[in-house]
Protein backbone atom coordinates (compact mmCIF):
# COMPACT_ATOMS: atom_id res chain seq x y z
CA UNK A 1 0.00 0.00 0.00
CA UNK A 2 2.61 2.53 1.13
CA UNK A 3 6.17 2.22 -0.01
CA UNK A 4 9.02 4.48 1.06
CA UNK A 5 12.05 3.90 -1.12
CA UNK A 6 15.56 5.15 -0.28
CA UNK A 7 14.45 8.53 1.03
CA UNK A 8 16.88 11.25 2.10
CA UNK A 9 15.54 14.41 3.71
CA UNK A 10 17.07 17.58 5.13
CA UNK A 11 16.13 20.36 7.50
CA UNK A 12 18.19 23.23 6.11
CA UNK A 13 21.70 21.80 6.06
CA UNK A 14 21.12 18.92 8.44
CA UNK A 15 20.36 15.51 7.00
CA UNK A 16 17.58 13.95 9.06
CA UNK A 17 16.63 10.90 6.97
CA UNK A 18 19.33 8.71 5.46
CA UNK A 19 18.38 6.19 2.81
CA UNK A 20 15.13 5.21 4.54
CA UNK A 21 13.04 2.41 3.05
CA UNK A 22 9.85 1.14 4.65
CA UNK A 23 6.67 -0.59 3.63
CA UNK A 24 3.15 -0.82 4.99
CA UNK A 25 0.89 -3.46 3.44
CA UNK A 26 -2.86 -3.28 3.08
CA UNK A 27 -4.57 -3.51 6.47
CA UNK A 28 -1.34 -3.65 8.44
CA UNK A 29 -0.47 -1.80 11.61
CA UNK A 30 3.23 -1.07 11.46
CA UNK A 31 5.08 0.58 14.32
CA UNK A 32 8.08 2.81 13.86
CA UNK A 33 10.09 2.93 17.07
CA UNK A 34 13.21 4.79 18.03
CA UNK A 35 14.60 7.46 20.32
CA UNK A 36 13.42 11.05 20.27
CA UNK A 37 14.84 13.35 17.61
CA UNK A 38 16.09 10.62 15.29
CA UNK A 39 13.82 11.32 12.31
CA UNK A 40 10.59 9.40 12.96
CA UNK A 41 8.32 12.46 12.77
CA UNK A 42 10.28 13.73 9.79
CA UNK A 43 9.46 10.57 7.88
CA UNK A 44 5.75 11.11 8.56
CA UNK A 45 6.07 14.69 7.29
CA UNK A 46 7.67 13.42 4.10
CA UNK A 47 4.87 10.87 3.62
CA UNK A 48 2.17 13.51 4.12
CA UNK A 49 3.78 16.05 1.80
CA UNK A 50 4.76 18.63 4.42
CA UNK A 51 8.44 18.08 3.64
CA UNK A 52 9.98 17.18 0.28
CA UNK A 53 12.58 14.40 0.19
CA UNK A 54 15.85 15.42 -1.46
CA UNK A 55 16.10 12.00 -3.06
CA UNK A 56 14.16 8.75 -3.09
CA UNK A 57 10.45 8.19 -3.58
CA UNK A 58 7.21 7.62 -1.73
CA UNK A 59 4.57 5.52 -3.48
CA UNK A 60 0.98 5.01 -2.47
CA UNK A 61 -0.86 2.17 -4.22
CA UNK A 62 1.79 2.34 -6.91
CA UNK A 63 1.50 6.11 -7.51
CA UNK A 64 4.42 8.40 -6.73
CA UNK A 65 3.25 11.00 -4.23
CA UNK A 66 6.45 12.68 -3.10
CA UNK A 67 5.95 15.69 -5.37
CA UNK A 68 2.23 16.20 -4.73
CA UNK A 69 0.93 19.05 -2.53
CA UNK A 70 -0.35 17.89 0.83
CA UNK A 71 -4.04 18.40 0.01
CA UNK A 72 -3.73 16.03 -2.98
CA UNK A 73 -2.12 13.44 -0.73
CA UNK A 74 -5.00 13.72 1.75
CA UNK A 75 -7.43 13.33 -1.13
CA UNK A 76 -5.73 10.06 -2.09
CA UNK A 77 -6.40 8.70 1.40
CA UNK A 78 -3.28 9.38 3.47
CA UNK A 79 -3.74 11.43 6.60
CA UNK A 80 -1.14 12.54 9.11
CA UNK A 81 -2.01 13.05 12.77
CA UNK A 82 0.72 15.22 14.23
CA UNK A 83 2.20 14.81 17.67
CA UNK A 84 1.64 18.54 18.18
CA UNK A 85 -1.95 17.89 17.04
CA UNK A 86 -2.38 21.24 15.26
CA UNK A 87 -6.06 21.49 16.14
CA UNK A 88 -8.00 24.68 15.45
CA UNK A 89 -8.35 26.03 19.01
CA UNK A 90 -11.13 28.56 18.37
CA UNK A 91 -13.31 26.28 16.28
CA UNK A 92 -15.77 23.91 17.92
CA UNK A 93 -15.18 20.15 18.03
CA UNK A 94 -17.74 19.75 15.26
CA UNK A 95 -16.14 22.45 13.13
CA UNK A 96 -12.73 20.84 13.64
CA UNK A 97 -14.16 17.53 12.42
CA UNK A 98 -15.85 19.19 9.45
CA UNK A 99 -12.55 20.76 8.44
CA UNK A 100 -11.10 17.25 8.50
CA UNK A 101 -13.59 16.40 5.76
CA UNK A 102 -12.61 19.39 3.61
CA UNK A 103 -11.48 17.42 0.56
CA UNK A 104 -14.25 16.78 -2.01
CA UNK A 105 -14.24 12.98 -1.65
CA UNK A 106 -14.62 13.08 2.11
CA UNK A 107 -17.33 15.73 1.99
CA UNK A 108 -19.89 13.22 0.74
CA UNK A 109 -19.21 10.86 3.64
CA UNK A 110 -19.09 13.57 6.28
CA UNK A 111 -22.05 12.31 8.34
CA UNK A 112 -21.02 8.65 8.20
CA UNK A 113 -17.46 9.49 9.21
CA UNK A 114 -18.61 11.78 12.02
CA UNK A 115 -20.83 9.02 13.41
CA UNK A 116 -17.90 6.61 13.27
CA UNK A 117 -15.65 9.07 15.14
CA UNK A 118 -18.31 9.63 17.83
CA UNK A 119 -18.79 5.89 18.20
CA UNK A 120 -15.04 5.49 18.62
CA UNK A 121 -14.65 8.40 21.04
CA UNK A 122 -18.06 9.06 22.67
CA UNK A 123 -16.57 11.83 24.82
CA UNK A 124 -16.24 14.03 21.74
CA UNK A 125 -19.91 13.85 20.84
CA UNK A 126 -21.03 15.27 24.19
CA UNK A 127 -18.76 18.25 23.64
CA UNK A 128 -19.22 18.83 19.94
CA UNK A 129 -20.28 22.45 20.43
CA UNK A 130 -17.34 23.32 22.68
CA UNK A 131 -14.20 25.04 21.44
CA UNK A 132 -11.26 22.70 20.90
CA UNK A 133 -9.19 24.84 23.26
CA UNK A 134 -11.38 23.72 26.20
CA UNK A 135 -10.51 20.04 25.80
CA UNK A 136 -8.16 18.06 28.03
CA UNK A 137 -4.95 16.53 26.69
CA UNK A 138 -6.50 13.11 26.07
CA UNK A 139 -9.56 14.54 24.36
CA UNK A 140 -7.37 16.66 22.10
CA UNK A 141 -5.50 13.53 21.10
CA UNK A 142 -8.82 11.85 20.27
CA UNK A 143 -10.03 14.89 18.34
CA UNK A 144 -6.81 14.96 16.32
CA UNK A 145 -7.24 11.28 15.40
CA UNK A 146 -10.97 11.79 14.75
CA UNK A 147 -10.30 14.81 12.55
CA UNK A 148 -7.88 12.64 10.57
CA UNK A 149 -10.49 9.90 10.13
CA UNK A 150 -12.97 12.46 8.76
CA UNK A 151 -10.90 12.59 5.56
CA UNK A 152 -12.08 9.06 4.65
CA UNK A 153 -8.45 8.02 5.08
CA UNK A 154 -7.29 4.58 4.04
CA UNK A 155 -3.90 5.15 5.62
CA UNK A 156 -3.23 6.82 8.94
CA UNK A 157 0.19 8.17 9.91
CA UNK A 158 0.02 8.58 13.69
CA UNK A 159 2.72 10.49 15.52
CA UNK A 160 3.08 9.52 19.20
CA UNK A 161 -0.60 9.47 20.12
CA UNK A 162 0.18 8.52 23.73
CA UNK A 163 2.71 11.29 24.40
CA UNK A 164 2.06 12.92 27.76
CA UNK A 165 -1.14 11.03 28.52
CA UNK A 166 -2.09 9.37 31.81
CA UNK A 167 -2.08 5.53 31.61
CA UNK A 168 -5.89 5.14 31.56
CA UNK A 169 -6.21 7.67 28.73
CA UNK A 170 -3.39 5.95 26.87
CA UNK A 171 -5.50 2.78 27.03
CA UNK A 172 -8.49 4.60 25.49
CA UNK A 173 -6.36 6.00 22.70
CA UNK A 174 -4.67 2.68 21.93
CA UNK A 175 -8.01 0.83 22.00
CA UNK A 176 -9.28 3.39 19.50
CA UNK A 177 -6.25 2.84 17.26
CA UNK A 178 -6.75 -0.91 17.38
CA UNK A 179 -10.45 -0.47 16.45
CA UNK A 180 -9.53 1.79 13.54
CA UNK A 181 -7.07 -0.77 12.24
CA UNK A 182 -9.65 -3.57 12.52
CA UNK A 183 -12.05 -1.51 10.40
CA UNK A 184 -9.56 -1.89 7.55
CA UNK A 185 -7.47 1.27 7.76
CA UNK A 186 -3.71 0.73 7.51
CA UNK A 187 -1.66 2.50 10.16
CA UNK A 188 1.91 3.62 10.53
CA UNK A 189 2.34 4.33 14.23
CA UNK A 190 5.31 6.29 15.52
CA UNK A 191 6.05 5.67 19.18
CA UNK A 192 8.76 5.95 21.77
CA UNK A 193 7.31 3.55 24.31
CA UNK A 194 8.45 0.23 22.94
CA UNK A 195 6.30 -2.17 24.97
CA UNK A 196 2.86 -0.76 24.41
CA UNK A 197 3.28 -0.06 20.73
CA UNK A 198 4.92 -3.35 19.83
CA UNK A 199 1.96 -5.27 21.28
CA UNK A 200 -0.34 -3.81 18.63
CA UNK A 201 1.99 -4.06 15.69
CA UNK A 202 2.07 -6.56 12.85
CA UNK A 203 5.62 -5.48 12.12
CA UNK A 204 8.13 -3.14 13.70
CA UNK A 205 10.80 -0.82 12.32
CA UNK A 206 13.44 0.76 14.51
CA UNK A 207 14.99 4.07 13.49
CA UNK A 208 18.24 5.40 14.84
CA UNK A 209 20.05 8.51 13.65
CA UNK A 210 17.87 8.79 10.54
CA UNK A 211 18.43 5.19 9.45
CA UNK A 212 16.28 2.08 9.71
CA UNK A 213 18.39 -0.26 11.85
CA UNK A 214 15.85 -3.02 12.47
CA UNK A 215 12.86 -4.59 10.81
CA UNK A 216 10.90 -7.53 12.19
CA UNK A 217 8.47 -8.81 14.82
CA UNK A 218 8.20 -8.13 18.53
CA UNK A 219 10.16 -11.19 19.63
CA UNK A 220 13.04 -10.40 17.30
CA UNK A 221 13.11 -6.81 18.50
CA UNK A 222 13.31 -7.82 22.14
CA UNK A 223 16.12 -10.25 21.44
CA UNK A 224 18.14 -7.80 19.32
CA UNK A 225 21.35 -7.24 21.27
CA UNK A 226 22.02 -3.69 20.10
CA UNK A 227 18.49 -2.43 20.81
CA UNK A 228 18.41 -4.27 24.12
CA UNK A 229 21.58 -2.69 25.47
CA UNK A 230 21.19 0.76 23.95
CA UNK A 231 17.47 1.42 24.39
CA UNK A 232 15.89 -1.08 26.73
CA UNK A 233 18.59 -1.03 29.40
CA UNK A 234 18.64 -4.80 29.61
CA UNK B 1 -22.34 73.19 20.40
CA UNK B 2 -26.08 73.10 19.85
CA UNK B 3 -28.05 69.83 19.35
CA UNK B 4 -28.09 70.33 15.58
CA UNK B 5 -24.32 70.66 15.36
CA UNK B 6 -23.94 67.71 17.73
CA UNK B 7 -26.16 65.63 15.44
CA UNK B 8 -24.10 66.70 12.44
CA UNK B 9 -20.86 65.63 14.14
CA UNK B 10 -22.42 62.29 15.10
CA UNK B 11 -23.51 61.62 11.53
CA UNK B 12 -20.08 62.55 10.22
CA UNK B 13 -18.53 60.27 12.84
CA UNK B 14 -20.84 57.45 11.86
CA UNK B 15 -19.94 57.82 8.19
CA UNK B 16 -16.19 57.70 8.72
CA UNK B 17 -16.51 54.95 11.36
CA UNK B 18 -18.34 52.84 8.77
CA UNK B 19 -15.66 53.37 6.12
CA UNK B 20 -12.82 52.75 8.58
CA UNK B 21 -14.55 49.59 9.76
CA UNK B 22 -14.76 48.23 6.21
CA UNK B 23 -11.12 49.11 5.48
CA UNK B 24 -9.87 47.74 8.80
CA UNK B 25 -11.82 44.48 8.53
CA UNK B 26 -10.41 43.88 5.04
CA UNK B 27 -6.88 44.53 6.25
CA UNK B 28 -7.20 42.44 9.40
CA UNK B 29 -8.70 39.52 7.45
CA UNK B 30 -5.57 39.14 5.32
CA UNK B 31 -3.36 39.66 8.35
CA UNK B 32 -5.31 37.12 10.39
CA UNK B 33 -5.41 34.41 7.75
CA UNK B 34 -1.98 34.83 6.22
CA UNK B 35 0.01 36.94 8.73
CA UNK B 36 0.59 39.21 5.76
CA UNK B 37 0.90 42.97 6.16
CA UNK B 38 -0.74 44.24 3.01
CA UNK B 39 0.45 47.75 2.20
CA UNK B 40 -1.46 47.61 -1.09
CA UNK B 41 -4.77 47.73 0.79
CA UNK B 42 -4.90 51.54 0.38
CA UNK B 43 -4.10 51.17 -3.31
CA UNK B 44 -7.15 48.98 -3.78
CA UNK B 45 -9.23 51.65 -2.02
CA UNK B 46 -8.02 54.15 -4.62
CA UNK B 47 -8.58 51.76 -7.50
CA UNK B 48 -12.08 50.85 -6.35
CA UNK B 49 -13.01 54.52 -6.67
CA UNK B 50 -11.22 54.91 -10.04
CA UNK B 51 -12.83 51.81 -11.55
CA UNK B 52 -16.29 52.98 -10.47
CA UNK B 53 -15.54 56.42 -11.91
CA UNK B 54 -14.28 54.88 -15.18
CA UNK B 55 -17.42 52.76 -15.52
CA UNK B 56 -19.77 55.66 -14.76
CA UNK B 57 -18.98 59.35 -15.28
CA UNK B 58 -15.48 58.86 -16.66
CA UNK B 59 -15.87 56.63 -19.68
CA UNK B 60 -18.56 53.94 -19.88
CA UNK B 61 -21.44 56.14 -18.69
CA UNK B 62 -23.19 53.36 -16.82
CA UNK B 63 -25.61 54.57 -14.18
CA UNK B 64 -23.80 54.81 -10.88
CA UNK B 65 -25.52 51.93 -9.02
CA UNK B 66 -24.76 49.62 -11.96
CA UNK B 67 -21.14 50.82 -12.11
CA UNK B 68 -20.94 50.23 -8.35
CA UNK B 69 -22.23 46.67 -8.67
CA UNK B 70 -19.96 45.92 -11.66
CA UNK B 71 -16.86 47.15 -9.82
CA UNK B 72 -17.28 44.55 -7.05
CA UNK B 73 -16.47 41.41 -9.13
CA UNK B 74 -13.65 43.32 -10.85
CA UNK B 75 -12.11 44.07 -7.44
CA UNK B 76 -12.55 40.46 -6.39
CA UNK B 77 -10.68 39.34 -9.51
CA UNK B 78 -7.90 41.87 -8.88
CA UNK B 79 -7.44 40.51 -5.36
CA UNK B 80 -7.24 36.94 -6.66
CA UNK B 81 -4.69 37.91 -9.33
CA UNK B 82 -2.63 39.90 -6.82
CA UNK B 83 -2.41 36.86 -4.55
CA UNK B 84 -1.72 34.46 -7.39
CA UNK B 85 1.10 36.39 -9.08
CA UNK B 86 2.71 38.45 -6.32
CA UNK B 87 1.99 36.90 -2.93
CA UNK B 88 2.01 33.15 -3.67
CA UNK B 89 5.45 32.92 -5.34
CA UNK B 90 7.07 34.88 -2.51
CA UNK B 91 5.22 32.95 0.16
CA UNK B 92 6.31 29.53 -1.11
CA UNK B 93 9.79 30.80 -1.88
CA UNK B 94 10.59 30.48 1.81
CA UNK B 95 12.06 33.97 1.79
CA UNK B 96 10.26 35.07 4.94
CA UNK B 97 7.92 37.85 5.97
CA UNK B 98 10.22 40.75 5.08
CA UNK B 99 10.00 39.92 1.37
CA UNK B 100 6.19 39.82 1.38
CA UNK B 101 6.26 43.13 3.24
CA UNK B 102 8.37 44.66 0.46
CA UNK B 103 6.23 43.10 -2.28
CA UNK B 104 3.03 44.63 -0.88
CA UNK B 105 4.73 48.01 -0.37
CA UNK B 106 5.97 47.87 -3.96
CA UNK B 107 2.49 46.98 -5.15
CA UNK B 108 1.04 49.94 -3.25
CA UNK B 109 3.45 52.38 -4.91
CA UNK B 110 2.87 50.75 -8.30
CA UNK B 111 -0.92 51.03 -8.00
CA UNK B 112 -0.63 54.77 -7.26
CA UNK B 113 1.83 55.37 -10.08
CA UNK B 114 -0.37 53.44 -12.50
CA UNK B 115 -3.38 55.52 -11.48
CA UNK B 116 -1.39 58.69 -12.12
CA UNK B 117 -0.31 57.50 -15.58
CA UNK B 118 -3.75 56.31 -16.65
CA UNK B 119 -6.05 58.87 -15.05
CA UNK B 120 -3.71 61.85 -14.62
CA UNK B 121 -3.30 64.15 -11.64
CA UNK B 122 -6.64 65.95 -12.04
CA UNK B 123 -9.11 65.13 -9.29
CA UNK B 124 -12.12 63.06 -10.32
CA UNK B 125 -15.56 63.31 -8.84
CA UNK B 126 -17.94 60.45 -8.11
CA UNK B 127 -21.67 61.19 -7.80
CA UNK B 128 -23.41 60.17 -4.58
CA UNK B 129 -25.22 56.82 -4.65
CA UNK B 130 -28.45 58.64 -3.85
CA UNK B 131 -28.72 62.42 -4.10
CA UNK B 132 -30.50 64.75 -1.73
CA UNK B 133 -31.09 64.90 2.01
CA UNK B 134 -33.47 63.39 4.51
CA UNK B 135 -34.80 65.14 7.56
CA UNK B 136 -34.94 62.88 10.59
CA UNK B 137 -36.31 64.26 13.87
CA UNK B 138 -34.89 67.67 13.11
CA UNK B 139 -31.48 66.37 11.96
CA UNK B 140 -30.49 66.55 8.34
CA UNK B 141 -28.74 63.51 6.90
CA UNK B 142 -27.81 62.99 3.27
CA UNK B 143 -29.31 60.00 1.52
CA UNK B 144 -25.79 59.00 0.44
CA UNK B 145 -24.54 58.77 4.04
CA UNK B 146 -27.57 56.75 5.00
CA UNK B 147 -27.01 54.33 2.09
CA UNK B 148 -23.31 54.17 2.91
CA UNK B 149 -23.96 53.15 6.51
CA UNK B 150 -26.62 50.64 5.42
CA UNK B 151 -24.27 49.05 2.86
CA UNK B 152 -21.45 48.79 5.39
CA UNK B 153 -23.75 47.17 7.96
CA UNK B 154 -25.07 44.73 5.35
CA UNK B 155 -21.54 43.79 4.20
CA UNK B 156 -20.35 43.35 7.78
CA UNK B 157 -23.26 41.09 8.71
CA UNK B 158 -22.79 39.13 5.49
CA UNK B 159 -19.08 38.68 6.20
CA UNK B 160 -19.66 37.56 9.78
CA UNK B 161 -22.24 35.01 8.62
CA UNK B 162 -19.90 33.84 5.86
CA UNK B 163 -17.00 33.35 8.28
CA UNK B 164 -19.17 31.77 10.96
CA UNK B 165 -21.53 29.53 9.02
CA UNK B 166 -20.08 28.46 5.67
CA UNK B 167 -17.46 25.82 4.93
CA UNK B 168 -15.21 28.27 3.08
CA UNK B 169 -15.50 30.82 5.89
CA UNK B 170 -14.71 28.21 8.53
CA UNK B 171 -11.71 27.18 6.43
CA UNK B 172 -10.46 30.78 6.52
CA UNK B 173 -10.73 30.80 10.31
CA UNK B 174 -9.02 27.41 10.46
CA UNK B 175 -6.07 28.62 8.36
CA UNK B 176 -5.75 31.70 10.57
CA UNK B 177 -5.62 29.53 13.71
CA UNK B 178 -3.20 26.85 12.54
CA UNK B 179 -1.80 26.84 9.05
CA UNK B 180 0.03 23.54 9.43
CA UNK B 181 -3.15 22.00 10.85
CA UNK B 182 -4.98 23.23 7.77
CA UNK B 183 -2.39 21.58 5.53
CA UNK B 184 -2.57 18.36 7.51
CA UNK B 185 -6.33 18.05 7.05
CA UNK B 186 -5.89 18.62 3.33
CA UNK B 187 -7.07 22.17 2.77
CA UNK B 188 -5.83 23.77 -0.43
CA UNK B 189 -4.14 26.65 1.39
CA UNK B 190 -3.49 28.60 -1.81
CA UNK B 191 -7.18 28.69 -2.63
CA UNK B 192 -8.07 29.89 0.86
CA UNK B 193 -5.46 32.66 0.52
CA UNK B 194 -6.79 33.69 -2.88
CA UNK B 195 -10.33 33.89 -1.56
CA UNK B 196 -9.14 35.95 1.41
CA UNK B 197 -7.37 38.44 -0.85
CA UNK B 198 -10.39 38.61 -3.13
CA UNK B 199 -12.71 39.49 -0.25
CA UNK B 200 -10.23 41.90 1.32
CA UNK B 201 -9.78 43.76 -1.97
CA UNK B 202 -13.54 44.08 -2.40
CA UNK B 203 -13.79 45.57 1.10
CA UNK B 204 -11.05 48.13 0.34
CA UNK B 205 -12.48 49.04 -3.07
CA UNK B 206 -16.04 49.39 -1.80
CA UNK B 207 -14.74 51.72 0.93
CA UNK B 208 -13.17 53.83 -1.80
CA UNK B 209 -16.36 53.92 -3.86
CA UNK B 210 -18.47 54.85 -0.86
CA UNK B 211 -16.31 57.65 0.46
CA UNK B 212 -15.15 59.08 -2.89
CA UNK B 213 -18.27 61.25 -3.40
CA UNK B 214 -17.12 63.09 -0.23
CA UNK B 215 -13.37 63.26 -0.83
CA UNK B 216 -12.82 63.27 -4.62
CA UNK B 217 -10.45 60.77 -6.27
CA UNK B 218 -6.73 61.20 -6.93
CA UNK B 219 -3.68 58.93 -6.96
CA UNK B 220 -2.76 58.12 -3.36
CA UNK B 221 -6.17 59.03 -1.92
CA UNK B 222 -6.17 55.66 -0.14
CA UNK B 223 -3.01 56.24 1.94
CA UNK B 224 -4.38 58.27 4.87
CA UNK B 225 -7.44 56.01 5.07
CA UNK B 226 -5.16 52.97 5.02
CA UNK B 227 -2.96 54.40 7.77
CA UNK B 228 -5.99 55.15 9.93
CA UNK B 229 -7.36 51.67 9.28
CA UNK B 230 -4.01 50.30 10.41
CA UNK B 231 -4.20 52.23 13.70
CA UNK B 232 -7.73 50.84 14.14
CA UNK B 233 -6.53 47.30 13.51
CA UNK B 234 -3.76 47.69 16.09
CA UNK B 235 -6.22 49.15 18.61
CA UNK B 236 -8.66 46.32 17.98
CA UNK B 237 -5.97 43.65 18.05
CA UNK B 238 -4.29 42.41 14.85
CA UNK B 239 -6.47 39.76 13.21
CA UNK B 240 -9.56 40.40 15.34
CA UNK B 241 -12.63 41.38 13.32
CA UNK B 242 -14.72 42.22 16.38
CA UNK B 243 -11.86 44.36 17.67
CA UNK B 244 -11.60 46.23 14.36
CA UNK B 245 -15.32 47.00 14.29
CA UNK B 246 -15.32 48.41 17.83
CA UNK B 247 -12.05 50.30 17.35
CA UNK B 248 -13.32 51.79 14.07
CA UNK B 249 -16.36 53.16 15.87
CA UNK B 250 -14.29 54.60 18.74
CA UNK B 251 -11.69 56.26 16.52
CA UNK B 252 -14.18 57.38 13.85
CA UNK B 253 -16.24 59.20 16.44
CA UNK B 254 -13.09 60.60 18.05
CA UNK B 255 -11.99 61.96 14.68
CA UNK B 256 -15.35 63.63 14.03
CA UNK B 257 -15.19 65.48 17.34
CA UNK B 258 -11.51 66.37 16.82
CA UNK B 259 -12.42 67.81 13.43
CA UNK B 260 -15.21 69.88 14.96
CA UNK B 261 -13.31 71.23 17.95
CA UNK B 262 -9.69 71.46 16.77
CA UNK B 263 -9.79 71.03 13.00
CA UNK B 264 -9.75 68.28 10.39
CA UNK B 265 -5.98 68.30 9.85
CA UNK B 266 -5.52 66.93 13.38
CA UNK B 267 -7.16 63.59 12.52
CA UNK B 268 -4.14 61.67 11.30
CA UNK B 269 -1.60 63.08 13.79
CA UNK B 270 -3.87 62.17 16.69
CA UNK B 271 -4.43 58.68 15.25
CA UNK B 272 -0.68 58.21 15.06
CA UNK B 273 -0.31 59.44 18.64
CA UNK B 274 -2.94 56.89 19.70
CA UNK B 275 -0.88 54.23 17.88
CA UNK B 276 2.33 55.20 19.68
CA UNK B 277 0.70 55.26 23.10
CA UNK B 278 -1.01 51.96 22.35
CA UNK B 279 2.21 50.21 21.35
CA UNK B 280 3.71 51.17 24.69
CA UNK B 281 0.69 50.50 26.91
CA UNK B 282 -1.19 47.63 25.31
CA UNK B 283 0.60 46.29 22.22
CA UNK B 284 -1.80 43.37 21.78
CA UNK B 285 -4.74 45.77 21.31
CA UNK B 286 -8.21 45.52 22.83
CA UNK B 287 -9.06 42.02 21.59
CA UNK B 288 -5.76 40.62 20.37
CA UNK B 289 -3.71 37.98 22.10
CA UNK B 290 -0.23 38.79 23.35
CA UNK B 291 2.69 37.89 21.09
How many domains does chain B divide into? 1
Mean pLDDT lowest among A167-181, A190-204, B74-88, B248-262: A190-204
Whether B181 and A70 have beta carbons less than 8 Å apart is answered as: no
- In chain A, what are the domain boundaries? 2-89+154-232
Q: Give the rounded percent of residues in chain A with a pLDDT score beyond 70.
A: 99
Which tens digits make up the pLDDT trace of A213-227?
999 888 888 888 888
| Class at the top of the CATH hierarchy for domain A2-89+154-232 | alpha beta
**Is B84 an interface residue toward A (CB < 8 Å)?**
no
Question: pLDDT, tens digit, for every residue of A117-166?
Answer: 999 999 899 999 999 999 988 889 999 999 999 999 999 999 998 887 88
Contact in structure between A121 and B206 (CB atoms under 8 Å): no
Judging contacts by C-beta atoms under 8 Å, the chain B residues touching residue A90 are 173, 177
For an interface test with B, the pick among A51, A91, A102 (most B C-beta atoms closer than 10 Å) comes out as A102
Among chain B residues, CA nearest to A69: B188
Range of the domain at B136: 17-222
In a domain, B227, yes or no: no
Report pLDDT for B291: 41
User: What are the φ and ψ backbone dihedral angles of B289, each rounded to 5 degrees?
Assistant: -105, 145
- Determine, yes or no, domain membership for B134: yes
Please give the residue of chain A at the shortest CA–CA distance from B172: A99
Chain A residues within 8 A of B288 when measuring between CB atoms = none
Query: Are B188 and A151 an interchain contact pair (Cβ–Cβ within 8 Å)?
Result: no
Residues A183 and A22: their CA atoms lie apart, in Å, by 23
**Residue B59 burial by Cβ neighbours in a 10 Å radius (0-12, 13-18, 19+):** exposed
Burial of residue B24, with CB atoms counted within 10 A of its CB: 0-12 exposed, 13-18 middle, 19 or more buried: buried
pTM of the model: 0.90
| Exposed/middle/buried for residue B261 (C-beta within 10 Å: 0-12, 13-18, 19+) | exposed
Distances (CA, A) of A189 to A30, A80, A157, B40, B229: 6, 10, 6, 46, 49
Chain B residue at shortest CA distance from A152: B185
Q: How far is B25 from chain A (nearest CA, A)?
A: 19
Q: Output the CA torsion sign for B222, B223, B225, B230.
A: positive
Flag whether B213 is in a domain: yes
Query: Given CB atoms, is B177 within the 8 Å cutoff of chain A?
Result: yes
Q: Looking at beta carbons, which residues of chain A come within 8 Å of B189?
A: 71
**Residue A171 contacts by C-beta under 8 Å, 6 or more apart in sequence?**
none
Contact A197, A31 (CB under 8 A): yes
Q: Pick A88's closest partner by Cβ from B181, B186, B188.
A: B181
* Model pLDDT, residue A159: 93
B184:A71 CB<8 A: no
Residue A90: which of B167, B171, B177 has the nearest Cβ? Answer: B177
pLDDT in tens, A95-107: 999 999 998 889 9
List per-residue pLDDT tens for chain B, 291 residues long.
788 888 889 988 999 999 999 999 999 999 999 889 999 999 999 999 999 999 998 888 888 889 999 999 999 999 999 999 999 988 876 667 788 889 999 999 999 999 999 999 999 988 888 888 888 777 788 888 999 999 999 999 999 999 999 999 999 999 999 999 999 999 999 999 999 999 999 999 999 999 998 889 999 999 999 999 999 999 998 888 999 999 999 999 999 999 999 888 888 888 889 889 988 888 888 777 644
Amino acid sequence: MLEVNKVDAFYDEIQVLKDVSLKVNDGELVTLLGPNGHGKSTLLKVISGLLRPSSGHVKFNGVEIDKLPSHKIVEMGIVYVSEERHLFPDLTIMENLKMGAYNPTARRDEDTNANYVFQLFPGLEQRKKQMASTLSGGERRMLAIGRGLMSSAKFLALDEPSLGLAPNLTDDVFNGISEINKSGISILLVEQSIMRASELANRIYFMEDGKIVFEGGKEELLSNEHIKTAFLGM
Amino acid sequence: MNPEQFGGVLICGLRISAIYALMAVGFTLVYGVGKIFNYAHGGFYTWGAYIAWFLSAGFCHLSYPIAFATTIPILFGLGILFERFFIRPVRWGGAGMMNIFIVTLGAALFLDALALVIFGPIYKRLPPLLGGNLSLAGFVISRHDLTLVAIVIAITIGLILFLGKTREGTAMRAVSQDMIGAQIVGMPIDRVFALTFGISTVLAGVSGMLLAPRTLIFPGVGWPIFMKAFVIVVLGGMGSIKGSLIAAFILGMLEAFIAYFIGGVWGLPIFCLVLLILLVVRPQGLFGTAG
